[in-house]
Structure 1
Amino acid sequence: MSIKDFLLPDLGEGLTESEIASWKIAEGDTVTVNQVIAEIETAKALVELPSPFDGTIRTLYAEEGSTVQVGAPLIAFELDGGDDEPEDGGGTQEREPVLVGYGPKKEGGAAPKRRRRSWESASSATAATSTETSEWDAAAVPSLETAGSAVDAERTERPRTTPPVRIFARECGVDLTGVAGTGAGGLITRADVQRVAEASSTDQAREQAVPHEGNREDVRIPIKGVRKATAAAMTASAFTAPHASEFITIDVTRTSELVTRLREQHPKTRITVMTIVSKAMLLAAQRTPSVNAHWDEDAQEIIEFAHINLGVAAATDRGLVVPVVKNADAMGLLDLADAIAALVATAREGRTQPADMSGGTMTLTNVGVFGVDAGTPILTPGQSAILAAGAVRRRPWEHNDEIALRDVMTLSMSFDHRIVDGEQASRFLVDVARVLNDPGTALTLL
C-alpha cells in the first residue's frame, strides 16, 4: 500500500489557479480511474476533474470554495500495491491528469510524465521572481507521515505552509506567525491568509467609516473566476489595441417580420433578431475581411482569417463569457441559430468547456437584452472587430416619405484601428445595416 499526492493539473489556456467549486467524493471513499472527483472553476469555465488513480481518498487538501494553485497538492490517494516511491516498471505510476473527455484510459499503461512547475513557478501570476525549475512530480512533495523531522525543524524557524502561500501572505501584508492553519496537520492555506487579510481590511474600513442608520453592511465580492479573467482580458485589450467606434441606427421592421415568419415555419429552432444580426455580420465580413483579422506583433503581420469563428457574448451568473461558434461562415441560418442557442444555454448553466471559448475571430454582443440602445464594446483580445446590437424599439420613423411607427435598432462597432481603417469599418457596418433593414439585400452579398 502507498500514499500518492495528486497535484492540481494544468487545465490549459494559460491558467495558473482554479477554485474548488465542489467535491464529488469525501475522505474514505473508494474511487476508480476517470471517476469525476471534483468540479473545478477556472477563469473560463466550470469543468469536471477525473481521478487519475484507482484507490481510496485519504486526504482532501483543499476546501470547497478555496483557490488552489496549479501544481499544489489537491488529494492524497491510498493505493493498493507498490511502494511509497515506486520505481520505473513497478508499482503504481501517476497517470497524467486531464479534463473529463480526455482522461486516462485503464488500458495501455500510464501516460508519460511531463515537466511541471515548481511551487514558486505555480504562483507565477503573482510572483515576478518565480522561475522554471527542474522536473518534479508528486513524489517530490513529502506526505504528512514522511515529512518527519524536517518539518519539525522548519516549524521552529517559520510557520508551516507552502511557498505560494508565503508569497500571497507577503502581498497581503499578513504575518504568518499569527495565522492559525486549518489545513492538514495545521498547514496554513491560502484561504487562511485571505481570511486574515480580509478581516484586517474590514477592521480598517470600519474604523474609517462614518456611522449610518439601518442594518446595511458593506458587501465584499472576491475578484476571481470569470470576472477576474474578463477584467484582465479587457484591460489588456484596451491598452494594447487602439480602439475606435462607429454607430448606425436603422429601421429593422422587415427583420422583425422575417423572424416572425421563420418561427412559424421552424418552431423547433430558436430564431431571434440576433440570429439575423449574426448572419448579416458573417455576410458583411466577406466583403471586408479586415474585420475578421489579427495583429501578429511578433511576425509583424496582419492575419486575415480564412474562416469566421463567431464569439457570442453571454451574460451568466458567473460573469460574461464568450462561447465561440466555429466555422460560423459555413453554416446556414437555421444551423447557426441552433449553434448559438446551444452554446448560450450551456454557458448560462456554467458548463462551457475551455475549448468552446477559444479560437474566436470576431464577436457579437447583445446589449439590447438589457434595454440598452448603444455602447462602445471593448475588443476581445486578438480580434479586430466587435459589434454590439442595441434594443429594438418601436419609434416614429420616416418610411415611404411619411412618419410611421417602426422597429428601430442601433448598432455599435468597435475596431482595432491598426487593422481596420474608417472606410473599412463604415463599409462593414453599413453592409450589416442594409441586411437588417431589408434581409433580401443579403442576396447581393453572397
Structure 2
Amino acid sequence: MKTFTLPDLGEGLPDAVVREWHVSEGDTIAAHESLVTVETAKALVEVPAPWGGRVEKLFAAQDQTVNVGEPLVGFAAEDANHEIPATEHSTTTISPGDSVSAEDPSVKETAPPQTRSDSGTVVGKLEQGEAVLGAEQRVAPSRRRPATPKVRALARRLGVDLEKLSTDGSLVTAAQVHAAVGSTPVTEKSAEEKKSPPPVQGVEKTAGVEAVMSPARRAMGLSMSRARDQVAQITLCDDADISSWWGSTPALLRLIRAVQLACTAEPTLNALYENDQLKIQETVNIGLAVDSPRGLYVPVLRDVAGHTDEALLAQVADYKHQARETGIAQSDLQGATILLSNFGAIAGRYATPVVLPPTVAIVGAGRVCQGVVVIDRWPAMRPLLPLSISADHRAVTGGELARFLRAMLHALST
C-alpha cells in the first residue's frame, strides 16, 4: 500500500481539519482528481490526488485534525508492471519490478526505501524531467466534483441537487444554484449522506481540542501577532446621527456604502502597505469581520461599487452561513483593501480595531444608542452610531484619517 500524507498547504500551520471526503474506500480515482477538502488557516482547500489508483484506506474521519506529514490516504500497491513517472529532480533508476511512488515529500512507501533526492514537488502537480520512465497506468474515470466547496455549501443550504445541474460535466455556479431553487429539492440530510463516506473505524476525534484551537483561531492569533509587530496604530472615534434612515435601512448596508464613499473622498485609506510602499487601490474591496464559534473570519466583498444593495446583502448572508457551517473558501478570504467590523451588532460602543497588514485601515461600528444632539440650538434625542476607525500611522497621516472619518459621518447622517 502506498501512503499519501497531508502536505504543507502553504498556510503556515502544522495541521488541517478534514471537512469533506470526495472518495470512499474502494473507489478508483484518476491523478489530480479532488481527494478531500480540508480547512486550514480559515480557508477550505481541495487536495488533489498525486496519482491515480484504487483508494484502499482513509486514515482520517470527517472533522478530524491531521498533522502535516501524517497519513491521509492509502492507495493499493501498484501492479508489478506499472511504472511511475520520475520527477524533475529525481536521478534514481527504477526497474519495472520496483514498487515506488512519485517523488513527492508527502508520499511514503511500504517497500524498502531507495536513495533519492527530495524533489520538493508541490502537492497535486507531478513534474516530469528528462528521464521519463513510463506512463501512468490508466485507471477507470472517477466522478468529478460538480462544484467548488463554496457552491456545494450553498446548494446544501438551499436544498439543490448539484448532480442534476451538472449533466455535461461543467462546474455549477452560484447563480445556477439560486435559479434552481424549488425545482430540484433534496433534503440536507440526504445530500450529506451521499457525499460523506462511512466513518473510519478506530479513529478518535479530538473534539475538545478542536473547539478551543481550531485552524481559524490559530490563524487569528498569527494575524494579531503580525499586526502587533508591524503596525503603528492610531484610532479616531465619533458618533454619527442616523435619525434620517434608522429603522428603514439595514445598518450594515449603510455602513458598507459609507465606507465606499469615504474611500472615494480619502483614497489613501483604501490601500495596501507592502515593502515600505503605499499602493492605493482602484476598487473598494471590503473585508468583513464575521464572528463564528470556530473563530474570526474576514471574507471579502469585492468591488462594492459595482454591486447592487440586494447582491451585497445576499453575499453577506452567504458568508455568515459558511462561517457557521462549512468554513469559507480561501479565495474569498483574500484581496481586501479595507476592513469593516460591525461589533455593535453584539455589544459595545467604542473600540480600538486592529489593522491587519497589508491593509492600512479598519472601520469599527458600535452599538446604536440614543444620545443628545444640538438641533437649531436646542437639545434633541437622536439615534447615534459610534464609529471607531484605526489606521496604520506608517502610511496614513492623522489628517487623512480625520477626513475619512468626516466623510463617513456625512454619508451616515444623510
- TM-score, normalised to structure 2, is 0.66
Match of 1:280 in 2: 258
* Distance apart, 1:403 and its partner CA: 3.2
Q: Deviations over 1:143-197 (max 9, x none)?
A: 2xx249xxxxxxxxxxxxxxxxxxxxxxxxxxxxxxxxxxxxxxxx9x99x99xx
* Distance apart, 1:138 and its partner CA: 6.4
Does the CA contact (< 8 Å) of 2:38 and 2:46 recur in 1? Answer: yes
* Distance apart, 1:274 and its partner CA: 1.1
Does the CA contact (< 8 Å) of 1:255 and 1:276 recur in 2? Answer: no
Equivalent positions of 1:110-129 (< 5 A) are: none
* Distance apart, 1:386 and its partner CA: 0.0
Match of 2:271 in 1: 293
Does the CA contact (< 8 Å) of 1:56 and 1:78 recur in 2? Answer: yes
* Distance apart, 1:343 and its partner CA: 2.8
Greater RCO (Cα-Cα under 8 Å, separation 6 or more): 2
Match of 2:182 in 1: none
Match of 1:251 in 2: 241
Does the CA contact (< 8 Å) of 1:280 and 1:432 recur in 2? Answer: yes
Does the CA contact (< 8 Å) of 2:258 and 2:412 recur in 1? Answer: yes
* Distance apart, 1:219 and its partner CA: 9.4
- SS of the equivalent of 1:433 reads helix
Does the CA contact (< 8 Å) of 1:294 and 1:302 recur in 2? Answer: yes
Q: Distance in 2 between matches of 1:274 and 1:392?
A: 12
Q: Deviations over 1:203-252 (max 9, x none)?
A: xxxxxxxxxxxxxxx99964230000001101111221101111001211
Aligned length: 316
Q: Distance in 1 between matches of 2:247 and 2:61?
A: 53
- SS of the equivalent of 1:141 reads strand
* Distance apart, 1:394 and its partner CA: 3.1
Matched, 1:7 2:5: yes
Match of 1:393 in 2: 369
Equivalent positions of 1:193-272 (< 5 A) are: 222-259=212-249, 272=250
Q: Distance in 1 between matches of 2:368 and 2:294?
A: 27
Distance 1:139 1:81, change over 3 A: farther
* Distance apart, 1:39 and its partner CA: 3.9
- SS of the equivalent of 2:348 reads coil
**Identity across matched positions, percent:** 27
Q: Distance in 2 between matches of 1:323 and 1:138?
A: 32
Q: Distance in 2 between matches of 1:410 and 1:362?
A: 19
Which has the greater radius of gyration?
1
Q: Distance in 2 between matches of 1:140 and 1:373?
A: 52
Structure with greater helix percent = 1
Does the CA contact (< 8 Å) of 1:6 and 1:138 recur in 2? Answer: no
- SS of the equivalent of 1:57 reads strand
Equivalent positions of 1:322-337 (< 5 A) are: 322-337=298-313
Q: Distance in 2 between matches of 1:136 and 1:80?
A: 15
Gaps of at least 5 residues in structure 2 are: 91-101, 114-202
Q: Distance in 2 between matches of 1:318 and 1:387?
A: 23
Matched, 1:136 2:127: no
What is the RMSD computed on CA atoms of the aligned residues?
3.7
Does the CA contact (< 8 Å) of 1:314 and 1:348 recur in 2? Answer: no
Residue 78 of structure 1, aligned match among 76, 79, 90: 76
Matched, 1:30 2:27: yes
- SS of the equivalent of 1:239 reads helix
Distance 1:254 1:139, change over 3 A: closer
* Distance apart, 1:35 and its partner CA: 7.0
Match of 1:367 in 2: 343
Q: Deviations over 1:353-386 (max 9, x none)?
A: 0000011111000111112111111112211000
Q: Distance in 2 between matches of 1:48 and 1:238?
A: 32
